[in-house]
């Protein structure tokens, strides 16, 4: 099956009992057994639920993986990956990544003696230098949140080969429509399914997809034993979202590029961060790795470099809603320094380039003329 067919049919079949074309929302915590231990394959919904199972099968299908798992949030999916590790293990992570992932790594898992090294993944040789005998996981985000840096997944996966190091890719920004980390050599894909997979800003959810069944089994054990599962109704919402993923991401990419080009020529804007612009330092890699488009995420700074301008702009833009999150059909705008990345200490933020005048846009699927008008309304006030 090709990608568009997979989003609709991958791992999904009419419900056997009634023939319902859409998998029903199985609102049940438990399942009747004929005799102790003799059951239909379902015992208790923390272990497995048919609606979640359909979503998990669909996730594996669209990411070309062996096993999919659906979690209560993107962060709980990440939490499950870290629980594969033991005290003393080392993790190399991108220096630019979602603030909540950074907070979990540093504030929750360092106290269990996991050691995190944050390095710039734009140049794989920097990652190579950071590998030690204790390295067990390389955590990639590409494009990164919020600076839209790219990571060469194939090059990073080669570094980990034969070293017993897992390569995990947070594929939230790109989605499997644009980028398939497992095909490029990664062991594991993570999603905040809250974003493009769900696609309608109506659910918080997370996903893991593994290259091998063996790794899938280990993570299923953690999911079952720790319990951060996605409920059946939320599973249904994500499953429904996935059916239109390709159409939506095509339009997000089209609008994203137009917004990036508009910003790039705007006199009040200094830097625009978007992998589909020829001015992006990794444009060639973007063309190779994200071959169907570049997505809907665009960040930029102001010529003045002043936070006040960013704030005033965000207070006056139209159509775009000032809110955290991304990847829904509607356009959102965000001020990373005081919203999504506020959990990173100020000095570290400055060091990484998350300056106070940085604005991040999640470009939705509205008409482009209205989006440009909405942004112009903000610029007119500064």
For ligand P1T, give the closer residue by CB, 120 or 324: 324
Per CB under 6 A, does 7 bind ligand P1T?
A: no
User: Per CB under 6 A, which region of 169-177, 280-288, 291-299, 363-371 contacts ligand P1T?
Assistant: 169-177
Active-site choice (195, 211, 352, 360): 195
Q: How far apart (Å, rounded) are the C-alpha atoms in residues 207 and 190?
A: 6
Residues in binding contact with ligand P1T, number by CB under 6 A: 20
- Of 120, 324, 330, 366, the residue at the interface with ligand P1T (CB under 6 A) is 324
- Residue 299 or 340 with smaller CB distance to ligand P1T: 340
Exactly one of 98, 102, 236, 274 is catalytic; name it.
Answer: 98
Least CB distance from residue 368 to ligand P1T, whole Å?
22
| 145 counts as binding ligand P1T under rule CB under 6 A | yes
From the candidates 42, 46, 120, 158, give the one annotated as an active-site residue: 46
**262 counts as catalytic:** no
Which among 202, 230, 221 has a CA at the least distance from the CA of 49?
Answer: 230
Among the listed ranges 250-258, 285-293, 302-310, 322-330, the one in contact with ligand P1T (CB under 6 A) is 322-330
Site string for ligand P1T, 69-98 (x = CB under 6 A): ----xxx----------------------x
Residue nearest to ligand P1T (CB): 74
Sheet of strand 297-302, all strands in order from the earlier edge strand to the far edge:
269-273, 297-302, 359-362, 332-334, 321-322
Site for ligand P1T contains 263 (CB under 6 A):
no
> Least distance (Å) from ligand P1T to the CB of residue 98?
4
Active site residue 195: yes
Does residue 101 belong to the site contacting ligand P1T (CB under 6 A)?
yes
Is 235 a binder of ligand P1T (CB under 6 A)?
no
Q: Is 46 among the residues known to form the active site?
A: yes
* Spatial distance between the Cα atoms of 20 and 8, rounded to a whole number of angstroms: 15
170 as an active site residue: the answer is yes
Q: Verify binding: residue 259, ligand P1T, rule CB under 6 A.
A: no
Residue 42 beta carbon to ligand P1T: minimum distance, rounded to whole angstroms: 26
Is the distance from CB of 263 to CB of 269 less than 8 angstroms? yes
| Residue 204 found at the interface with ligand P1T (CB under 6 A) | yes
Alpha carbon separation from 279 to 57, 260, 274, 289, 303 (Å, rounded): 39, 11, 9, 17, 17
- Is residue 170 close enough to count as binding ligand P1T by CB under 6 A? yes
Instruction: Closer to ligand P1T by CB, 135 or 192: give it.
Output: 192
Among 197, 326, 359, 365, binds ligand P1T (CB under 6 A): 326
CB of 328 to ligand P1T, least distance (A): 11
- Catalytic residues, by residue number, are 46, 98, 170, 195
Residues near ligand P1T (CB under 6 A): 73-75, 98, 100-101, 141, 145, 170, 172-173, 192, 194, 204, 206, 324-326, 334, 340
């Amino acid at each position: 099956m090709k990608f568009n067919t997979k989003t609709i049919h991958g791992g999904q079949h009419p419900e056997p009992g009634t023939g319902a074309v859409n998998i029903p929302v199985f609102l049940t915590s438990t399942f009747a057994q004929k005799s102790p231990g003799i059951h239909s394959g379902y015992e208790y919904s923390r272990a497995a639920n048919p609606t979640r199972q359909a979503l998990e099968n669909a996730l594996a299908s669209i990411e070309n993986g062996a096993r999919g798992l659906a979690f209560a949030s993107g962060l709980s999916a990440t939490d499950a990956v870290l629980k594969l590790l033991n005290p003393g293990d080392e993790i190399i992570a991108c220096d630019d990544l979602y603030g909540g992932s950074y907070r979990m790594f540093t504030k929750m898992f360092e106290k269990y003696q996991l050691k995190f090294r944050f390095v710039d993944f734009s140049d794989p040789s920097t990652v190579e230098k950071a590998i030690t005998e204790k390295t067990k996981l390389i955590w990639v985000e590409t494009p990164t949140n919020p600076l839209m840096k790219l990571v060469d997944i194939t090059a990073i996966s080669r570094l980990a080969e034969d070293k017993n190091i897992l390569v995990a890719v947070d594929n939230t920004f790109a989605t499997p429509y644009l980028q398939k980390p497992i095909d490029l050599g990664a062991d594991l894909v993570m999603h905040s399914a809250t974003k493009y997979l769900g696609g309608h800003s109506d659910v918080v959810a997370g996903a893991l997809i593994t290259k091998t069944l063996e790794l899938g089994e280990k993570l299923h054990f953690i999911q079952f034993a720790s319990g951060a599962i996605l409920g059946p109704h939320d599973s249904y919402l994500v499953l429904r979202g996935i059916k239109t993923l390709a159409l939506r991401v095509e339009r997000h990419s089209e609008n994203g590029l137009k917004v990036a080009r508009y910003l790039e020529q705007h006199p009040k804007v200094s830097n625009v961060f978007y992998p589909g612009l020829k001015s992006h330092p990794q444009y060639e890699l973007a063309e190779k790795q994200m071959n169907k488009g570049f997505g809907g995420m665009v960040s930029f700074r102001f010529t003045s470099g002043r936070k006040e301008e960013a704030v005033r702009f965000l207070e006056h833009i139209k159509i775009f809603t000032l809110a955290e999150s991304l990847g829904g059909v509607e356009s959102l705008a965000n001020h990373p320094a005081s919203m999504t990345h506020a959990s990173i200490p100020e000095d570290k933020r400055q060091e990484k380039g998350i300056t106070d005048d940085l604005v991040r846009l999640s470009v939705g699927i509205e008409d482009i003329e209205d989006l440009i008008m909405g942004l112009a309304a903000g610029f007119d006030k500064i």
